[in-house]
């Protein structure tokens, strides 16, 4: 029997392992490419999404967020312009009002349904007593209506963490270009934040198979 020298045997084994590993790598993805997971793991360089030049500036009013996400600064849709009777201090001041305007001046249209069961919130748990143009948190800090995430996130901190990162809420119109996300109140009515039940927009037919 002719014996294979030890060194050659080891070399052949290493070669066999290399070939097998190479083949399994090909089998895990499309021919000649890496799997998605590998490509994701190798992509560590941030993508400059401003390169997508067709992502135009939005017509909606936006403000710079006071906090950062993993990619730095970002913008949010503004809220104050959406509040029909902002500024609140136009009515909430020291001037006397006529009783006949009472219906207009009170907020009879607001139905509070925020909190579980009997633990409903009241107006002044979010709205500042001292300055009606601002919200207020439990520490007494004034919070701008455009930056309500700073208040909402005090209780809903998990949602806020996800919102900052991008797993809660959504971007406005574009995935590319400048990051503009919706604010909490773009989607949730702050006085009754749960989503309503309703009929679906459409329906589906069975698939032909």
Candidates 116, 173, 185, 192: give the one binding other proteins (CB under 8 A): 173
Distances 96 to 19, 105, 108, 196 between C-alpha atoms, Å: 87, 12, 19, 38
The answer to the question of residue 176 lying near other proteins (CB under 8 A) is yes
Compose the 26-65 pattern: x for residues touching other proteins by CB under 8 A, - for all others.
Answer: -xxxxxxxxxx--xx-xxxxxx-x-xx-xx----------
Residue 16 near other proteins by CB under 8 A: no
Q: Which residues, listed in sequence order, are joined to residue 189 by a DSSP beta bridge?
A: 192
Q: Please give the helix or strand (H or E) that residue 69 lies within, else none.
A: none
Provide the Cα torsion 123, 125, 130, 136; round to 10°. Answer: -120
Of 151, 93, 147, the C-alpha closest to 126 is: 151
Query: Per rule CB under 8 A, is residue 117 in the interface with other proteins?
Result: no
Task: Based on the shown chain and the rule CB under 8 A, indicate whether residue 175 belongs to the binding site for other proteins.
Answer: yes
- Report the residue number, 151 or 177, with the smaller CB distance to other proteins: 177
92, 132, 171, 191: residue in contact with other proteins (rule CB under 8 A): 171
**Phi, psi (degrees; rounded to nearest 5) at 69:** -105, -175
List of residues contacting other proteins (CB under 8 A) = 27-36, 39-40, 42-47, 49, 51-52, 54-55, 69-72, 158, 162, 165-171, 173-177, 182, 187, 195, 197-209
């Amino acid at each position: 029997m002719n014996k294979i020298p030890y060194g050659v045997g080891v070399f052949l084994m290493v070669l066999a392992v290399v070939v097998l590993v190479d083949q399994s790598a090909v089998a895990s993805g499309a021919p000649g490419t890496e799997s998605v997971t590998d490509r994701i793991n190798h992509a560590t360089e941030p993508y400059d999404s401003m390169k997508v030049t067709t992502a135009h500036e939005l017509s909606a009013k936006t403000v710079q967020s006071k906090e950062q996400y993993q990619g730095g600064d970002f913008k949010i849709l503004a809220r104050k312009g959406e509040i029909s009777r902002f500024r609140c201090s136009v009515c909430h001041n020291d001037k006397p009002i006529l009783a006949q305007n009472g219906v207009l001046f009170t907020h009879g249209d607001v139905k509070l349904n925020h909190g579980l069961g009997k633990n409903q919130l009241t107006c002044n748990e979010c709205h500042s007593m001292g300055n009606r143009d601002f919200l207020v948190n439990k520490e007494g800090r004034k919070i701008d209506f455009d930056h309500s995430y700073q208040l909402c996130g005090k209780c809903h901190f998990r949602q806020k963490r996800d919102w900052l990162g991008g797993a809660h809420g959504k971007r406005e119109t574009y995935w590319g270009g400048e990051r503009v996300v919706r604010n909490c109140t773009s989607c949730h009515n702050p006085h009754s934040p749960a989503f309503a039940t309703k009929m679906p927009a459409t329906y589906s037919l069975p698939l032909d198979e």
